[in-house]
Structure 1
C-alpha cells in the first residue's frame, strides 16, 4: 500500500472514530443539567433579591433574610437544599438577571403580571399585599389615593423602577411626567424628604418597614389610604410570587406543591408573620399563576 493510501485510510479510521465518539458524547451535551437537578445536587440555590424589607434583603451580618427567602428555604428543604446565596440587584434588573443565569430564583416582592409572564415563569402566589402612601408630616398635598394624585395637577408620586406600582399609576391616569422613579424604597424616601416628590407609593408592608427603620418624625404613613378597586368594586391586591426561568417547569411544579402544603398547614402564616404579615396578607389559595398571567 502506498504512503498516500495509508494516509487516506488513517484519516477515514480517525474520522469514523470521531463520529463514533461524538455519537456517545452529543446526547449528554444535549441534555443540559436543569436547575432543579443542579440545586438538589449542590444543596444550594442562588436567590435574586432587591434588598427590600421585609420581602427579601441581606442583613448586616451578610445573611439573606426576609419573608420570601424564608418561604423559599422551607419549600426547598425537603429537596435537599440547605443554603440560600443572595445576589443583590435593583428591582428592575431581577428579570434580566434571572434570564442571564445570575441566580436561580427571584425572591422579591414581584407581583404576577401578564407582561412579566411573557419573560419568566411564576409560581403560584406566596402572599397577597395592598399598597400605601408615605408623605411629609401633615400630607401637604392632601392625597389619600392614586385617583387623588391623578386629579391633583402638580402632585408628584415616587415609586420603584420596574415595579407593579408603575403600572398602577399609569392605569389610574397619573401622567408619566408626574411619576418619579427610584431604585428602591430607601432612595424614594430620601427623594421625598428632598422635595423631589410629594408622596411615595409602595407595598404597605414595605412602607411599614421603611418608616420603622427611618424613625423620622418628619415623615408619616397616610392613614385611610384608598386601595385600587377592581371592576366589581372590591379592593385590588398584588400577588407576589417566586420568579423562575421559563425552562424550569419542574422546579415550578415542586414549589407550587410546597406552597399549597405550607398554606393548608398554617406554616406559611407562621413564617411570614415574623415579618409583619397577617392573615390578610396570605394568598387566597384560589388564584393561580396561570389565572393571574392572563391579560
Structure 2
C-alpha cells in the first residue's frame, strides 16, 4: 500500500466532512465516522475526544475464535475484543460497535476510515507497521496445524509440507502464508480461503492436505466444529523464523497518535492489575504462556529487533 497516498486521500475526505458538519455513517462492511483519523485538522476535535463524547468506538475484527468473533447470539466475543472493551471502558467509552470483515480487509478498512481501531489478535510485523500504528502487545502465541484424520501424509512441520509437496489452505491475509514460504513451501502448494471454516472445508474435501493458523485459532475452531474427519497435530514443530512467537495487538490509523497513546496507557494499567491475564484465561489462553511480554515493545517488534 502507498501510505502517503492513503493519508492524502484520507485528509481530503476529512476536510469534506468538516465542511458538511462531520456526521458519521455506517455501511454493510462496517464503517464508522468518516473523520476518523487526522486529529486537529480543520480545527476539528480529535478522534479520541469524539469517541469519548459519543460513547461509541467502532472496531473492525475478523471472525477468528478465540481472538475476535461474533457469537451465534450476535454478541462480540474473544480475547482481543474483551481486552479492547475493557480498555475503552477505562477511557469512558462503553459502547463497542463491532464490524466483521475479512482478515485481509482489516488494515485497508482502517486506513479508509471505516474503523477507529482493528483488534483481532493481529500479529505485529514490520510490513504491517508500514501501514498502521500498533498498540503495545496484548498477547503472544505460536502456530498450529490441522490435517485429515490419521495424518495420512505424516505432516508435523512446515518443512514436512515443503518436502512432501503437500498443499496447504490458509486464510487470506494471514501471516502464515509468509511463514510457510519462508520454510520452503512453494507458491503453487498454497491455497487461500476467506476464513477458517473455508480452510477446514478444503482439507476435509481433499482439495488441500493441511491448514495452518495460530495455535489457539485452529485448535478451538476444530473443537467448536466437532469435525471428526480432521485432527489437530499435537506434536507440531514450531518454525524457527522471525515472527514466531507472534505478538498480537490492536492497530490504529497512523494519524491517531492521541487515541493510540491513551489506549496504551489504560492497557498497561489492566496488564499490571491482572485484568488482561484474566481475560486471556477466560477465552482459553494460558494466562502466563500467552500473556503480553514484559520486556517486548511494539517499536522493537516493528524494527525487527525482537523477532
Q: TM-score, normalised by structure 2?
A: 0.83
Alignment-derived partner of residue 100 in structure 1? 112
**For residues 260 and 171 of structure 1, what CA distance do their matches in structure 2 show?**
34
Does residue 210 in structure 1 map to residue 221 in structure 2? Answer: yes
3-state SS of the aligned residue for 2:279?
helix
- How far apart in 2 are the matches of 1:29 and 1:158? 44
Contact 1:46 1:103 in 2 (8 A): yes
Question: Matches of 2:183 and 2:268 in 1, distance apart?
Answer: 33
Matched with 1:273 is 281
- Corresponding residue SS for 2:141: coil
Q: What secondary structure, in the 3-state scheme, does the structure 1 residue paired with 2:247 have?
A: coil
Correspondence 1:61 to 2:91: no
Cα deviation for residue 112 of structure 1 reads 0.3
Matches of 1:258 and 1:78, distance apart in 2: 7
For residues 262 and 45 of structure 1, the distance between their equivalents in structure 2, rounded to whole angstroms, comes to 19
Which residue is 1:12 aligned to?
none
Matched, 1:291 2:303: no
Instruction: Report whether the alignment pairs 1:91 with 2:103.
Output: yes
Task: Trace 1:175-194 onto structure 2 (pairs within 5 A).
Answer: 175-194=186-205
Q: Does the aligned pair in 2 maintain the 1:260–1:285 contact within 8 Å?
A: no
Q: Which of 1 and 2 has greater Rg?
A: 1
Q: CA deviation at 1:101?
A: 1.0
Conservation of the 8 A alpha-carbon contact between 1:94 and 1:106: yes
1:200 counterpart residue number: 211
Indicate which of 74, 81, 85 corresponds to 1:73: 85
* Inter-partner Cα distance in structure 2 for 1:29 and 1:271: 37
Report the counterpart of residue 22 of structure 2 in structure 1: none
Q: Which runs of 4 or more aligned residues in structure 1 lie more than 4 Å from their structure 2 counterparts after TM superposition?
A: none
> In the alignment, what sits opposite 2:177?
166
How far apart in 1 are the matches of 2:131 and 2:272? 30
User: How many residues in Structure 1 have an aligned counterpart in Structure 2?
Assistant: 265
Residue 236 of structure 1: CA displacement? 2.8
Matched, 1:258 2:260: no
How far off is 1:31 after superposition? 2.5
Unaligned runs of 5+ in 2: 1-18, 20-39
SS of the equivalent of 1:141 reads coil
Q: Are positions 1:282 and 2:294 aligned together?
A: no
Q: 1:136 aligns with which of 133, 148, 156?
A: 148
CA distance in 1, matches of 2:294, 2:255: 25
Q: 3-state SS of the aligned residue for 2:281?
A: helix
| Residue-by-residue CA offset, 1:207-232 (whole Å, 9 max, x unaligned) | 1221111111111100210111258x
Q: Structure 1 stretch 77-86 or stretch 222-231: which is displaced more? A: 222-231
Of 25, 42, 52, the residue aligned with 1:40 is: 52
More helix by share: 1
Kept in 1, the 8 Å contact 2:61–2:101? The answer is yes
Equivalent residue number for residue 7 of structure 1: none
Aligned equivalents of 2:134 and 2:179: distance in 1? 20
Distance in 1 between the 2:115 and 2:279 partners?
23
Q: 8 Å contact 2:144–2:232 — kept in the other structure?
A: yes
3-state SS in 2 of match to 1:98: helix
Q: Is the 8 A contact 1:161 1:183 kept in 2?
A: yes
How big is the alpha-carbon RMSD for the aligned residues of Structure 1 and Structure 2? Answer: 1.7
List gaps (5 residues or longer) in structure 1: 1-21, 23-27
